[in-house]
Amino acid sequence: MNIISKRIVAIFMVVIILAGIPGLFSLSFVKGVGRQVLYGYRENSMPEGATTSQRIKRIFTKIEDMIEISFTGEYVNLNGLVQKSMGKKVISDVVNANTVVKLDNGYLTFVFDEYKDTAHYAKSVADLRSFVKNTGSDFLYIQAPYKNFAYGDKIPDGVNDFIKDTTKGMVSNIKSNGVETLDLSIRFTECEVNGESMFFRTDHHWTVQGAFNGFRMVADELKENYNFTFDEKFLSQDNYTVETRKGSFLGSQGRRVGKFYAGMDDLSLMYPKFETDFSFEIPNRSVSKQGTFKEVMFDFEKLEPKNFVVSNNYLVFIGGDYDLTVIKNNLNNNGKKIVLIKDSFSCAFAPFLSLITQELHLVDLRYFKNSELKNYIKSVSPDLTIVMYNCAALYDNDDFFDFN
């Protein structure tokens, strides 16, 4: 082979490698390495009896995980393009649970390849309900939906998905424990309603249309069974302005396969045309805002263009997940108070719910100290305590159901 050809390849490889060398001397990387070395060795997450070698190896592995070469996003895009050209429908992931599957309609999803017994989760919810009832508050468990319910028949043959069975089991367990339940998962049977998408193509969350749809179902339930009163105008989409940013969002599933594999999502924001006045607070982050729905419910900084590797436009909804967020409706001083124990689906949903409440306290148990939950509920003394999780939360994290 012509040696010139080989020289060209050698120069190309040198250029590619030099271009990709990560920023090792940034403060955040140095801090991260320091943290790993100082604390990683003592971290309790190592199993008991872990040897010195295992601990040191773990530190090295963590440091390696921190390394991110330049142009990571471009390489992920390239990989996604190649996978698409080969017609691949299942894209394996470094974390098996985050394997991305392309449905027959082009939507992406995660799948859950084993049935999970949720009896202990249902029991935890029932125990919380008992506690809440004793404080004089009402209780409601809401099963938020998941994309796979709407498009279960479009999962490629041969791919096993047990999320429906697990969710049905959870709802059944909850109900048999005597807990008031609203199951939204069986109501979201279509991904699109009247041409509007209920779920993102590349993200596991519902869209703002999906969240609004869910809000309407919840509002009906609260009106019928919990004595909530509100103006029906809140439930009509005609009273809202919808702003759509076309092709601007690459979601949790899309980020794992790049923007060419399944395209990008539109991201819509929906805010009332009618008058609103809210106080919005994230107490532990010193965030405090007052203003209209549009002014307080959206964090527009999160929409600034960034590399999709580091950005997540879904964070525009109330700024993301925090241990505690408090929203007060200054135009509904006679309204009811709700404590909503939530996951990220509530980020798009809670703004609408706040329209029919006086106070809405959003608690995320991934960040909120579980042991302080009951004291907090007592201190707020809500009219209603809601636990609302989407179906995938049943697989994710025991913290969600640790109410003690």
Partner 1 sequence: MLFPSQIFLFIFLPFTIFFYYTFFRKNRRLQNVLLTVMSLLFYAWGEPVFVFVMLGVIGYNYLFALLIDKHSLNISKAKAILVLSLICNILIFFIFKYLTFTLENINGVFNSQIPVPGIALPIGISFFIFQAMSYVIDVYRKNGEVQKNVLNVALYISFFPQLIAGPIVRYQTIADQINSRKESFDYFSSGVCRFIFGLSKKVLISNNVALVADAAFESESPSVVLALLGAVAYTFQIYFDFSGYSDMAIGLGNMFGFKFLENFDYPYVSKSITEFWRRWHISLGTWFRDYVYFPLGGSRVDSKSRLIFNLFVVWMLTGFWHGANWTFILWGFTYFILLSFEKLTGLHKKMNWLGHIYTMFFVILGWVLFRAEDISHAGAYISSMFGINGNPVIDDVTRLYINEYFVFFIFAAIFSLPVSKVVREKLGDKKISSVLYPIITCGLLLLSISYIVKGSYNPFIYFNF
* Residue list 317-336, contact with partner 1 (CB under 8 A): 320-321
- Residue in 352, 389, 401, 403 binding partner 1, rule: CB under 8 A: 389
- Please enumerate in sequence order all residues whose Cβ is within 8 A of that of 23, keeping only pairs 6 or more positions apart, or say none: 29, 70
Q: What is 208-236 written as a DSSP string? A: HHHHHHHHHHHHHHHHHHS-----GGGG-
Of residues 157 through 176, those in contact with partner 1 by CB under 8 A are: 157-159
- Residue in 20, 152, 263, 291 binding partner 1, rule: CB under 8 A: 20
* CB of 156 or CB of 283, closer to partner 1: 156
For residue 278, give the nearest of 209, 356, 224, 339 by alpha carbon.
356
Q: What are residue 348's phi and psi, to 5 degrees?
A: -85, -20
Least distance CB 33 / partner 1 (angstroms): 13
Of residues 175 through 234, those in contact with partner 1 by CB under 8 A are: 204-205
Least distance CB 235 / partner 1 (angstroms): 25
Task: Round to whole Å and give the CA distance between 350 and 388.
Answer: 11
8 Å CB contact between 314 and 349: no
Task: Round to whole Å and give the CA distance between 199 and 103.
Answer: 13
Least distance CB 256 / partner 1 (angstroms): 7
Is residue 304 within the footprint of partner 1 (CB under 8 A)? Answer: no
In what helix (H) or strand (E) does residue 30 lie, and over which residues does it extend? helix 27-40
Of residues 333 through 352, those in contact with partner 1 by CB under 8 A are: 343-345, 347
Stretch 44-73: interaction string toward partner 1, x if CB under 8 A:
-------xxx--xx--x---xx-xxx--x-
8 Å CB contact between 341 and 323: no
Size of the site for partner 1 (CB under 8 A): 72
* CB of 72 or CB of 135, closer to partner 1: 72
Query: Token pair for residue 245?
Result: 């940013």
Least distance CB 65 / partner 1 (angstroms): 7
* CB of 102 or CB of 328, closer to partner 1: 102
> What 3-state class would DSSP assign to 92?
coil
Task: Round to whole Å and give the CA distance between 188 and 185.
Answer: 6
Least distance CB 158 / partner 1 (angstroms): 3
Q: Give counts: helices (H), strands (E), the chain.
A: 14, 15
* CB of 188 or CB of 345, closer to partner 1: 345
* CB of 183 or CB of 343, closer to partner 1: 343
Neighbours of 214 (CB within 10 A): 26
Pairing type for strands 357-363 and 384-390 reads unpaired
* CB of 13 or CB of 242, closer to partner 1: 13
Is residue 37 within the footprint of partner 1 (CB under 8 A)? Answer: no
Is residue 287 within the footprint of partner 1 (CB under 8 A)? Answer: no
For residue 385, give the nearest of 157, 193, 138 by alpha carbon.
138
Is residue 38 within the footprint of partner 1 (CB under 8 A)? Answer: no
Least distance CB 253 / partner 1 (angstroms): 9
